[in-house]
Amino acid sequence: MAGEATKAIDKSLLWGGGRSPFSVSYGKMMMWFFLVSDALTFSGLLVAYGYARQAYLGAWPIGEQVFHALPGLTGNFPLIYVALMTFILIISSVTMVLAVEAGHRMDKKGVTKWLAYTIVGGIIFLGSQAWEWSHFIHGSAGYIITDTNAQYFLVEEVPHGKTAFDVEGFSLIANMGEENESIITGDKATSLFNDRINYVQGANMTINEYGPPQYGNFFFFITGFHGFHVFTGVLINIIVFIGVRKGIYEKRGHYEMVEKTGLYWHFIDLVWVFVFTFFYLI
């Protein structure tokens, strides 16, 4: 058994086989394995997204043209909001790693402080995502589809329950984004609006004003699945925070629980880095 162990390891820490594979505890190793499987899930979603987008003849919407609003402000701010969300998540990842570092020093006060910041960061991120979803679902002015299957984009939205006559100077844009793009005003515009077969505004699971139906579906599923991870991450962080406050880990002699939830939390940040690039930037 020469070389098996240079120093006796506490027996209570060893696994059934009498040794500790990879020199990590069971919980931490299983967290890693869980994260690998979760990473495969997210990668599958992102590859499916890329597949649909690549196959769609370039009709896919561009991130900076869809996500360009800020709460409470009018105007064009491409990507600024989602960049802020990214910063929030990166910073909360940093506070988490600082909590882990404090745990290695058995610094209960430090762990409490940094873990609290992490939870706050996570909640702010969730709130931001709620606003973004709401904005995505309600959309902007939208477009109408006529019985000849032509699309006319509205310059100004027609509020719910109102008609085109209620909008002053109601006008439509024909052939949006093409060379013969033109503006239709007056009676022709209002009669086109009245004869529409559908008024598409914002997004739902079957149709959206931004691009192909799959675009909305992938947006809801990928950011939703990620948001659900953030939500559970915040919950687990809160549970561990209570444990830290109660001194459970202090009594146990190590703060490995903080390290394990930390792994999960960093993984959420990691996924967002990829979602940010492939959904919003490219």
For other proteins, the binding residues in 184-223 under the rule CB under 8 A are none
Is 47 among the residues that bind other proteins (CB under 8 A)? yes
96-125 residues near other proteins, rule: CB under 8 A = 96-98, 100-102, 104-106
Rule CB under 8 A: choose which of 20, 140, 151, 204 binds other proteins: 20
249-278 residues near other proteins, rule: CB under 8 A = 254, 256, 259, 262-263, 266-267, 269-270, 273-274, 276-277
Provide the token pair at 245: 């406050």
Separation between Cα atoms, residue 118 and residue 93, nearest integer Å: 7
- The helix/strand/coil state of 160 is coil
Q: Which is nearer to other proteins, 202 or 211 (CB)?
A: 211
Is 36 among the residues that bind other proteins (CB under 8 A)? yes
Q: Which is nearer to other proteins, 193 or 266 (CB)?
A: 266
Which range in 58-66, 118-126, 172-180, 209-217 contacts other proteins by CB under 8 A?
58-66
Which range in 39-47, 141-149, 163-171, 236-244 contacts other proteins by CB under 8 A?
39-47
Amino acid type, 280: Y
Which range in 62-70, 155-163, 185-193, 200-208 contacts other proteins by CB under 8 A?
62-70
Rule CB under 8 A: choose which of 30, 41, 90, 156 binds other proteins: 90
Helix or strand run (H / E) with residue 30: helix 26-55
| Backbone φ and ψ of 142, nearest 5° | 80, -170
Which range in 33-41, 121-129, 136-144, 148-156 contacts other proteins by CB under 8 A?
33-41
Cβ count within 10 A of residue 164:
19
Is 239 among the residues that bind other proteins (CB under 8 A)? no
Q: How many residues does the chain have?
A: 282
What pairs with residue 144 in β-bridges? 152, 199
Strand order in the sheet with 151-154: 182-185, 171-174, 151-154, 143-145, 198-200
Shortest distance (Å) from residue 204 CB to other proteins: 25
| CA proximity to 262, closest of 61, 113, 92, 108 | 92
Counting residues that bind other proteins (by CB under 8 A) gives 74
171-174 and 151-154 strand pairing: antiparallel
